[in-house]
């Protein structure tokens, strides 16, 4: 394979994750839209919420590693070369970033709901 085809990657992820792929992609799209709208309404990032979201993001990175181990045919003990460890670090980082954004967005909107109701 000389070229990187996005459709091949989509087929591989579909095979590995099954219907969960579409749930995760939908969640990513909804969260991104909600995050952008929240930032436009707040006009700034609230440091207190960001720190809380980052702490929960670490758990999200760990959950991403667990999901990776479940859907792949190999485990962490099979990681031999540097490329394997880079991929593991990348999965953790993407899981942590995604969980941080989801958490920040949820905390931001929940805080807005409580302030408007009260």
Query: Cβ(40)–Cβ(78) under 8 Å?
Result: no
pTM assigned to the model: 0.78
How many percent of the chain have pLDDT more than 90? Answer: 41
pLDDT tens digits along 63-93: 999 988 888 776 666 777 777 788 888 889 9
Query: Where does residue 100 fall: left (phi above 0), alpha (psi -120 to 50 degrees), or beta otherwise?
Result: alpha
Q: Which of 22, 49, 30 is nearest to 115 (CA)?
A: 49
Domain positions in the chain = 6-117
Distance CA 2, CA 13 (A): 19
Distance CA 46, CA 109 (A): 12
Q: What is the dihedral of CA 114, 46, 97, 70, to 10 degrees?
A: -30
Distance CA 90, CA 101 (A): 16
Task: Give the Cβ contact number of residue 58 at 10 Å.
Answer: 14
pLDDT tens digits along 97-106: 999 999 999 9
């Amino acid at each position: 394979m000389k070229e990187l085809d996005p459709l091949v990657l989509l087929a591989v992820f579909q095979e590995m994750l099954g219907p969960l792929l579409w749930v995760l992609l939908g969640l990513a799209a909804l969260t991104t839209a909600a995050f952008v709208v929240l930032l436009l309404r707040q006009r700034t990032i609230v440091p207190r919420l960001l720190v809380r979201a980052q702490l929960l993001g670490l758990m999200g990175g760990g959950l991403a590693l667990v999901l990776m181990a479940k859907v792949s045919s190999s485990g962490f003990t099979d990681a031999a070369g540097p490329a394997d460890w880079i991929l593991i670090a990348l999965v953790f980082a993407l899981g942590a970033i995604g969980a941080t954004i989801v958490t920040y967005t949820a905390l931001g909107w929940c805080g807005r709901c409580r302030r408007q109701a009260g």
